[in-house]
Amino acid sequence: MAITAALVKELRERTGAGMMECKNALVEANGDIESAIEAMRKSGQAKAAKKSGRTAAEGVVMIRVSDDGKKGVMVEINCETDFVAKDSNFQAFADAVVDTALAGSAQDAAELAGQPLVGDASTTVDGAREALIAKIGENVQVRRLMRFDASEGTLYSYIHGVRIGVMVELAGGDETLGRDIAMHVAATNPLCVNADQVPAETLDKEREIFKAQALDSGKPEAIVEKMIVGRMRKYLEEVTLLGQPFVKDPDQSVEKLLKQAGAKVVCFARVEVGEGIEKKVENFAEEVMAQVRGS
């Protein structure tokens, strides 16, 4: 069967693959477009499997909130380079994934992977991910999904660039305050809302550190205890949202800002692209020397 330009064009439109890849697939399938698509999908899965072990620590954080502000999702989608994170194909995939997350009920990234993709029910999130890997040549991972259901207030969000995302549930206040609090969380990365939420083991660890530092000063034990109390108080102000100075007005704390508005933060979450992923550090000089010694 003759491989026409119209047939190649149709296959390109259906798969998003390059012209030569489409032409070669059609030649191998003797012009049967459905067989060519199946072969290309299998090839894409193989490519995805090969690239799945490569570090993907760049990417984007995507957020969607329902119109009534009661339901929301935050998704981290990773790739290998900042260049691909800005690519239109990657961004379209990220948009479709977060829309799928909001429309469905998946509780985590693993469950989300098997959901039909919004905008293309013929494939799943993972199927679209594999196709994207085959197209752009980089490892792509849907790493995290966080789902929010407002219990007392309204959800507000903020994204700094594409790398830091914050979701805040605010009871009382308004949209401006909600966005300001979310922006503050993005900038300062507090540990929790208030002192009562700081884990006991974290407090014990910090107290031991402060005690050792105070004892090294040679001060009397009574003074040492006062120093520890003072440093723990300062520590709690630094790591809790309510204790921190508000970024847009450092003369007042977030707690005072909320009280003035008659509002309270029920909860918040902050996600930063690549946090916790060990990135490979390339040393090109050592790499070249290794090649020289091996030649």
Q: Supply the pTM of this predicted model.
A: 0.74
Q: What angle do CA 71, 72, 78 make, to 5 degrees?
A: 160
pLDDT at 212: 82
Contact (Cβ atoms closer than 8 angstroms) between residue 205 and residue 103: no
Token pair 């903020």 is at which residue? 158
Compute the average pLDDT of residues 225-240: 88
pLDDT in tens, 177-206: 999 999 999 999 999 999 999 989 998 888
Q: Which strands sit side by side in the sheet containing 264-272, from one edge to the other?
A: 154-160, 164-171, 264-272
pLDDT at 1: 67
Burial category of 112 from C-beta neighbours within 10 Å (exposed 0-12, middle 13-18, buried 19 and up): buried
Contact (Cβ atoms closer than 8 angstroms) between residue 90 and residue 136: yes
DSSP string, 31-54: T-HHHHHHHHHHHHHHHHHHHTTS
pLDDT at 149: 97
The 10 Å Cβ neighbour count of residue 255 is 19
State the average pLDDT for the chain.
Answer: 87
Q: Is the pLDDT of residue 254 over 50?
A: yes
The one-letter code for the residue type at 40 is: M
Burial category of 142 from C-beta neighbours within 10 Å (exposed 0-12, middle 13-18, buried 19 and up): buried
pLDDT in tens, 33-49: 888 877 776 665 444 44
Closest CA to 158 of 135, 130, 186, 136: 186
* 93-102, 150-159, 224-233, 254-263: segment of lowest average pLDDT: 224-233
pLDDT at 38: 77
Measured over the CA atoms of residue 52, residue 57, residue 60 and residue 63, the dihedral's sign is positive
Where would I find the H helices in 121-279? 125-136, 175-188, 200-216, 221-239, 254-261
pLDDT in tens, 110-134: 999 999 999 998 999 999 998 998 8
Domains along the chain with CATH numbers: 5-51 (1.10.8.10), 55-149 (3.30.479.20)
Q: Which two tokens stand for residue 107?
A: 């509780």
**What is the rounded distance in angstroms from the CA atom of residue 15 to the CA atom of residue 25?**
11
pLDDT in tens, 6-15: 888 887 776 6
CA atoms within 13 A on the CB side of 183: 11
